Homo-oligomer: A and B are copies of this chain.
């Protein structure tokens, strides 16, 4: 059994032993072998009682916005406060290229050398759903190992931001101080996900940074007026999304950022929203994995495999309605005779 040999150092080991056990546990959870998966599930179930105490922090932003520099500055700041910091990643490009935003060894060099930091690159295979699941499970490993802050980093591309939002307590979006970038984030609905917007590189053009901050603040206010519950105003018991300006390169603003995060955590813990968010996330995660499993079993069913190519061709050619084809395939999987379709 691999599980007890991992559990002991993970929960009670020296910092070094913990990090080694974490790496092994996450590798086990990333494995697609059935026996590893069963061991992984057993390990997760053991770990669960020791999870849930960390702050799960999502940090997103387009390439070039300065995520690595910011996360390194933040990580070093938090370690100086006596906290332990883990950095995980969701990188959709890594599923295609095998590369990863965190694969580059030169990134976050200073943070990586800290005893109380753990940095793990994005799982580099499978669908986004699969990558997201592995990252969710890795969060639990980090928490059980006693890490206080688990940062989930993601690039501002595709659905990875929704995935990162769906597994963190607080979702922060890094922005450059220019309007085009602002519009891009609004367009993609990222702004709607943001609990905190961070305007980075404020040192380069302080006036543009202030203008961007004003623009985003007004966007957030319009969203609030338009009834997004996250932005409901005039309730001092609730967190209202904010904008902070920083210069990660100069190390300026990290303290302000952390003050905002701490205020968020205090308010949302007191009003119960943090616990409610985690419950929603856990159930959504369960159903997402169920849907993925159902789809996978469906595609592998012999009767479906036999019928699918012809039915897909018929649908594309307009010889059968898509809904009729779907019903016939579902009936075939269920072992029923396909409906008479002449």
Contact = CB atoms under 8 A, between A and B. Distances in A.
Contacts of A219: 183, 187
Nearest to A286: B322
Contacts of A319: 48
Contact of A187 (B191, B294, B325, B334): B191
Contacts of A115: none
Given A38-B340, A45-B321, A51-B318, 6 more contacts: A41-B324, A42-B341, A48-B319, A136-B322, A286-B322, A290-B330
B42 A137 contact: no
A286 B222 contact: no
A140 interface: yes
Measured as residues with beta carbon below 8 angstroms from the partner, the interface class of chain A is 35 or more
Contacts of A318: 48, 51-52, 282
A315 B289 CA distance: 13
A223 B184 CA distance: 8
A246 interface: no
A186 interface: yes
A187 B180 contact: no
Interface of A: 37-38, 41-42, 44-46, 48, 51-52, 133, 136-137, 140, 180, 183-184, 186-189, 191-192, 219, 222-223, 225-226, 279, 282-283, 285-287, 289-291, 293-295, 297-298, 311-312, 315-316, 318-327, 329-330, 334, 339-342
The 7 closest A-B pairs by CB, nearest first: A289-B326, A285-B322, A286-B322, A294-B294, A293-B330, A44-B321, A41-B324
Nearest to A294: B294
A320 B41 CA distance: 9
Contacts of A334: 297
Chain copies in the assembly?
A: 2
B290 A326 contact: yes
Nearest to A188: B189
User: Which of A37, A51, A325 has most B Cβ within 10 Å?
Assistant: A325
A329 B180 CA distance: 46
A264 to B, nearest CB: 21
A158 B289 CA distance: 24
25 contacts: A38-B339, A38-B340, A41-B321, A41-B324, A42-B342, A44-B323, A44-B324, A45-B321, A52-B318, A133-B323, A140-B321, A183-B222, A187-B187, A187-B189, A187-B223, A285-B326, A286-B322, A286-B326, A289-B326, A289-B327, A290-B329, A290-B330, A291-B294, A291-B295, A297-B334
Contacts of A187: 186-187, 189, 191-192, 219, 223
B45 A320 contact: yes
B322 A282 contact: yes
Contacts of A321: 41, 44-45, 48, 137, 140
